[in-house]
Amino acid sequence: MGEALRAAVARQRMLLRRLLDAPLARLARDCTAVWPRRDALEPLLIQWLDHLPSCKYLYALDPQGRQITANVSTRGLLPEHFDRDRSQRPYLKAALAGETFSLSDAYISRNARRPSLTAIQRIETAGGEHLGFLGADFDLRELPLTREAYEQPGQWLQMKGDPAIRSGLFNQRRIDSPMDQHLDAVLDLVIELVVAHGVFHGKLHFSSSRATLWFIEDPFRYRILDIEDLTDPGIVLTYPSRPYPGDAVVPQDRVAEVFHTLRALRFMDETIYLRAGSLNIFNGMVGLNFSCDGSHYMPWQELLEKKIDFWLGTGDPELDDAG
């Protein structure tokens, strides 16, 4: 997990902790008055479930982590969980080590097989005697978080591919594909679709002679154009004209430059060459996949700044090559 994504997850966990800490502490105090009577604890947990509307299960555990109540859920009591030993579950590790309140990492639940997490609240008397624990399980799908969409930072990412392909790199040579043989015409058509017909994300698969395109008017479905489509300028008649979006990160007059750079990377070498390349005009990111199966995701400006010798590894010796 990258640093930015890890930070986003940490922010969500902080929000969850603030959401759960206080109500579970109050419930734990109420539990001390009836501890350890199952006949009194279960009605209390049922009552408190209304104060934790996103909680899937509530239950009480003894100091060793063995369950002394049924699971309390919105569907009622689940008595089959009574006397269940949870001491070895990862979410109890911090609690058994003495934490007053702990929030587990996300995990895949055993029954529903869905991302979940568990909050554990220590239960103590006013005098500090340890009575047990309160457990609350949550389905991540149902938690009321702000959940602002994680935005991928616009920075260069390099990912190495299949080792089997990398090890055989110098035993292969680029073979002209049908797209290679008509590449100038293909690029002219794709550029036209981007700047005048609403394509916001386009990917050219040079080796397999096809393109996958996403249109602003219908962003949830992509179109696949084969080489016959890509060499027929008449197909633009099937896509309505649309002004270039004003909020695109890539300026309209630089779109062609990006695609022509992809062309240069395709033909830069007979061994190290571009297999597929993409451009998204809204986030400004270019995707590159090379013959060594190495992949790069980078801002469009950085792509245009790099010379061919960089990708071939003949420039700065401290910089990695396409793979």
- Taken in order 306, 312, 317, 318, is the CA torsion positive or negative? positive
pTM of this structure: 0.63
**155 pLDDT band (50/70/90 cuts)?**
low
Q: Which residues pair with 116 in a beta bridge?
A: 107, 139
Q: At a CB cut-off of 8 Å and minimum separation 6, what does 150 contact?
A: 5, 8
pLDDT > 70 fraction of the chain, expressed in percent and rounded: 85
Tell me: pLDDT of 17 over 90.
Answer: no
Q: What superfamily does domain 3-142 belong to in CATH?
A: PAS domain (3.30.450.20)
pLDDT, average across residues 81-95 = 91
Amino acid occupying residue 245:
P
* Residue 111 backbone dihedrals phi, psi, to 5 degrees: -95, -60
Range(s) within the chain of domains with CATH label 3.30.450.20:
3-142
Q: At a CB cut-off of 8 Å and minimum separation 6, what does 298 contact?
A: 155, 156, 157, 285, 286, 288
**147-151, 187-191, 246-250: lowest mean pLDDT where?**
147-151
Q: How far apart are CA 80 and CA 75, in angstroms?
A: 14
Q: Which residue has the tokens 């555990």?
A: 61
CA angle 252, 254, 256 (to 5 degrees): 95
Tell me: pLDDT of 160 over 80.
Answer: no
Residue 253 burial by Cβ neighbours in a 10 Å radius (0-12, 13-18, 19+): exposed
Q: Which residues pair with 108 in a beta bridge?
A: 115
What's the pLDDT at 1? 46
Q: Which helix (H) or strand (E) holds 201?
A: strand 199-205
245-292 pLDDT tens trace: 999 999 999 999 999 999 999 999 888 899 999 999 999 999 999 888
pLDDT, average across residues 68-73 = 95
CA angle 270, 273, 277 (to 5 degrees): 155
